[in-house]
Amino acid sequence: MKTVLVVEDTKSDQLLVQGLLKSMGTEAVICNNADEALEWLNKNTVPDLIMLDIVMPDISGYDLCRKIRGELALEDVPIVFCSTKNEDYDRFWALRQGGNAYLIKPYSPIELMKTVKPYIS
C-alpha cells in the first residue's frame, strides 16, 4: 500500500484528504505541523508522496519543503503543495522550493485525485 504524508493543520482538510486517499487504496499519515512531520519522517520509511499546506502556525510549507529536500533519502519524494494562495507567484514559488505540483484550496475530489494519482500509481 502506498503511503502519503499529509501535513495539514485544518481538521476538515485532514479528513477530506484522508478519505479521498483511502478511497484510492492509499494510506494517509496525518501530521498537524512541521515538527510532527519531521519526527514522523525520522522514524518511518520514506513515503511515496508528501502533501504540504503552505500556511501553518510554526513554519511555512515552503520552509518545510526545503528541509525535506535537504535530506538525501527524501530528495526525490514528490511534494504537492496545497493552499488558498491563488496567485501565479505562489505557484511559481512553491515549485521553486522543490514542489512537484500545486493544488488550490478548496479543491474538488476529482482535482485532488488527478493531482496525486501520477505519484502513487
The per-residue pLDDT for range 69-95, each reduced to its tens digit, is 999 999 999 999 999 999 999 999 999
Q: Domain total for the chain?
A: 1
pLDDT for the residue 58: 87
Residue 93's Cβ-count burial label (10 Å; 0-12, 13-18, 19+) is: middle
pTM tops 0.85, yes or no: yes
Do residues 29 and 4 touch, judged by C-beta distance below 8 A? Answer: yes
Of 118, 104, 117, 116, the C-alpha closest to 13 is 104
Residue 33 pLDDT exceeds 90: yes
pLDDT, tens digit, 9 for 90 and up, residues 36-78 = 999 999 999 999 999 999 999 889 999 999 999 999 999 999 9
pLDDT, tens digit, 9 for 90 and up, residues 88-117 = 999 999 999 999 999 999 999 999 999 999
- For the chain, count helices (H), then strands (E): 5, 5
Structural domain containing residue 104: 2-119
- CATH number of the domain residue 66 falls in: 3.40.50.2300
